A and B are shown apart, each in its own frame.
Chain A
Amino acid sequence: MQVLDRPLVVSGELAWLGGDKLQRHVEHPNDETATIADGEVTQQRAGKSPRHFSLSRAPQLQVLLDSFVALLSGDAGRLQQAFEIRQAGDPAAAWTLTLVPRDAKVAKTVTSIVIDGDGKTSRCMRMQEADGDLAIDLLGPLAAKMPAQPTREALLALCQGAH
Chain B
Amino acid sequence: MVSQRLKVSTDLRSFMPAPTTPDQRLLMEQVGDGPGSRLLLLAISRSCPAPALPAPAGLALPAQRASCARGTEPSMAGAGQSDTQLAALSQGLVGALHNDKRYSQVLNGSFDLGALPSGLLPYRYLLSTTLDMQPLDEPYLADQLQQRLDDLSSPAASLLKGLLPRDPTLEVLKLAERWTPARSPEVRDGVWFSPQNEALLLVQTTAAGFDPDAQQQAIDGIQHAFNALPGHAGAKLEFSGPGYFSVVVGAQTRHQADWIGRISSVGFIVLLLLAYRSLSSLLLSALPIASAALAGIAALTVVFSEVHGITLAFGFTLLGVAQEYPIRVLSHRRAGEDAVQSVRALWPLLLTAIASACIAYLAFYASGVNGLKQLAVFTIVGLLVAGFSTRYLLSRLLPGRVRDVADMRWLAKARDLVDRLPRPRWIPVVVAFAIILMLAVAPGPFWQNNLAALTPLPQDMLLRDARLREALGAPDVRYLLVLQASTEQGVLALSEQLQPKVDALVAQHAVDALELPSRYLPTIALQQARQQKLPDRAALQRELTQALQGLPFRADLFQPFLNDVETARQLPPLTPERYAQTPLGQRLAAMLMQRDGHWLGLGTVSGVHDVAALQALGADSGGNVRLLDLKAASESLVAAYRTRILQALLVASVLLVLTITFALRSLRRAWHVLAPMTLATFLVLAVERMAGIEISLFHLVALILAGGLGLHYALFFERDTGDPAEQRRTLHATIVCVLSALLVFGMLAWATIPVLRAIGLTVSLGVAFHFCLSILMAPHTHASED
> How far apart sit A53 and B147, CA to CA, in the bound complex (Å)?
17
CB within 8 Å for A54 and B110 given contacts A19-B76, A43-B155: yes
| CB of B231 to closest CB in A, whole Å | 14
Task: Write the chain B residue with the least CB distance to A34.
Answer: B155
Q: Of A3, A19, A34, A109, which contacts B553 at CB under 8 A?
A: A3
Known contacts A5-B554, A6-B552; A39 and B188 CB within 8 A of each other: yes
Chain A residues with CB below 8 A from B154, complex form? 26, 32, 34, 43
Residues from 42 to 76 in A contacting B, C-beta threshold 8 Å: 43, 45, 51-61, 64
Which A residues lie within 8 Å of B83 (CB)?
39
Chain B positions within 8 Å of A20 at CB level: 76, 80
Sample (16) of A-B pairs whose CB atoms are under 8 Å apart: A4-B152, A5-B553, A5-B555, A8-B152, A26-B154, A30-B150, A40-B188, A43-B156, A52-B187, A53-B156, A54-B110, A57-B159, A58-B158, A58-B159, A60-B155, A109-B158
Nearest CB in chain B: distance from A138 CB, A: 14
Give residues of chain B (181-219) contacting chain A, Cβ–Cβ below 8 Å.
Answer: 187-191
Contact with A along B36-57 (1 / 0, CB 8 A): 0000000000000000000000
Known: A3-B554, A5-B554. A60 touches B188 (CB 8 A): no
B164 lies within 8 A of chain A by Cβ: yes
CB distance from B553 to the nearest CB of A (A): 6
B109, closest chain A residue (CB)? A54
Q: A34-B154, A34-B155, A39-B83 are in contact. Are A55 and B189 (CB under 8 A)?
A: yes
Q: Which residues of A contact B (CB under 8 A)?
A: 1-8, 10, 19-20, 24, 26, 30, 32, 34, 36, 38-41, 43, 45, 51-61, 64, 109, 129, 131
**Residue from B147, B158, B164, B187 in contact with A3 in the complex, judged by beta carbons closer than 8 Å:** B164
A39 to B188, CA, bound (A): 6
- Contact at A8–B552, with CB atoms within 8 Å? yes
Residue of B nearest to A2 (CB): B161
Across chains A and B, which 9 residue pairs bring their CB atoms closest together, nearest first?
A54-B190, A61-B155, A6-B552, A58-B155, A4-B552, A56-B190, A10-B153, A5-B554, A8-B153
- Identify the closest chain B residue to A38 (Cβ): B188
- Per a CB cutoff under 8 Å, which of A6, A34, A60 touches B158? A60
Q: Are A32 and B150 in contact (CB under 8 A)?
A: yes
Chain A residue numbers with a CB within 8 Å of B80 are: 20, 39
Q: Which of A3, A38, A39, A51 has the most CB of B within 10 A?
A: A3
Given contacts A3-B553, A5-B553, A109-B158, contact A56 B189 (CB under 8 A): yes
In the assembled complex, which residues on chain A have CB atoms less than 8 Å from the CB atom of B165?
3
B residues touching A (Cβ–Cβ < 8 Å)? 76, 80, 83-84, 87, 110-111, 146-147, 149-150, 152-159, 161, 164-165, 187-191, 552-555, 557
Complexed CA–CA distance, A43 and B189 (Å): 16
| Closest partner residue, chain A, to B87 (CB atom) | A56
Give A27 Cβ to nearest chain B Cβ, in Å. 12
| Cα(A148)–Cα(B158), bound, Å | 25
Instruction: Give A51's nearest chain B residue, CB to CB.
Output: B156
Interchain CA distance A61-B557 in the complex, whole Å: 25
Extra pairs beyond A8-B552, A40-B188, A55-B190 (14, CB < 8 Å): A3-B164, A3-B557, A4-B152, A4-B554, A5-B555, A20-B80, A26-B153, A39-B189, A40-B187, A54-B191, A57-B111, A57-B156, A58-B157, A60-B155
Min CB gap A21→B, angstroms:
10
Are B150 and A45 within 8 A (Cβ)?
A: yes
Compute how far the CA of A162 lies from the CA of B190 in the bound complex, rounded to whole angstroms: 43
- State A17–B566 Cα separation when bound (angstroms): 48
Please, which residues of chain B bring their CB within 8 A of the CB of A7?
Answer: 552
Q: Which residue of B lies closest to A131 (CB)?
A: B161
A41 to B187, Cβ gap below 8 A?
A: no
Q: What's the nearest-Cβ distance from chain A to residue B693, in Å? A: 52
Residues on B with beta carbons closer than 8 Å to the beta carbon of A6: 552
What is the CB-to-nearest-CB distance from B614 to chain A, in angstroms, rounded to a whole number? 28
Across the interface, do B189 and A58 meet the contact criterion of CB distance under 8 Å? Answer: no
Bound Cα distance from A60 to B221, whole angstroms: 36
**Chain B residue nearest to A65 in the complex (CB):** B155
Residues of A within 8 A of B159 (CB): 53, 57-58
What's the Cα separation between A7 and B149 when bound, in Å?
Answer: 11
B151 nearest CB neighbor, chain A only: A43
Bound: A40/B165 CA distance, A: 26
Is B87 a contact of A3 with CB atoms below 8 Å? no
Which residues of B lie under 8 Å from residue A60 when comparing CB positions?
A: 155, 157-158
Q: Which residue of A lies closest to B557 (CB)?
A: A3
**A residues near B152, Cβ cutoff 8 Å:** 3-4, 8
Given contacts A3-B557, A8-B552, contact A54 B157 (CB under 8 A): no
> Smallest distance from the beta carbon of B586 to chain A beta carbons, Å?
26
A12 CB to nearest B CB, Å: 10
- Chain A nearest CB from B743 CB (Å) reads 62
Bound Cα distance from A59 to B84, whole angstroms: 14
For A45, give the chain B residue with the smallest CB separation: B150
A5 to B110: give the CA distance in the assembly, Å: 32
Inside 8 A of A4's CB, which chain B residues have their CB? 152, 552-554
Nearest residue, chain B, Cβ from A4: B552
Q: Given the complex, which residues of B lie within 8 Å of A30, measured CB to CB?
A: 146, 150
Instruction: Name the A residues within 8 Å of B190 (CB-CB).
Output: 53-57
Tell me the complex Cα distance, A99–B230, Å: 28
Specify the chain B residue showing the minimal Cβ separation from A7.
B552
Residue in A closest to B193 when the chains form the complex, CB atoms: A39
Taking CB as reference atom, which chain B residue is nearest A108? Answer: B158
Least distance between B580 CB and chain A CB atoms (Å): 30
Q: What distance in Å separates the Cβ of A65 from its nearest Cβ neighbour in chain B?
A: 10
Nearest-Cβ distance from residue B475 to partner chain A, whole angstroms: 24
CA distance A32 to B153 in the complex (A): 10
- How near does chain A come to B695, taking the closest CB pair, in angstroms? 54
B146 to chain A: which residues have CB within 8 Å? 30
The residues of A that contact B155 with a CB separation of less than 8 Å are 24, 34, 36, 41, 43, 58, 60-61, 64
Which residues in A have their C-beta under 8 angstroms from that of B150?
30, 32, 45
**Neighbouring A residues of B191 by C-beta, 8 Å:** 54
Which residues from A are CB-within-8-Å of B187?
40, 52, 54
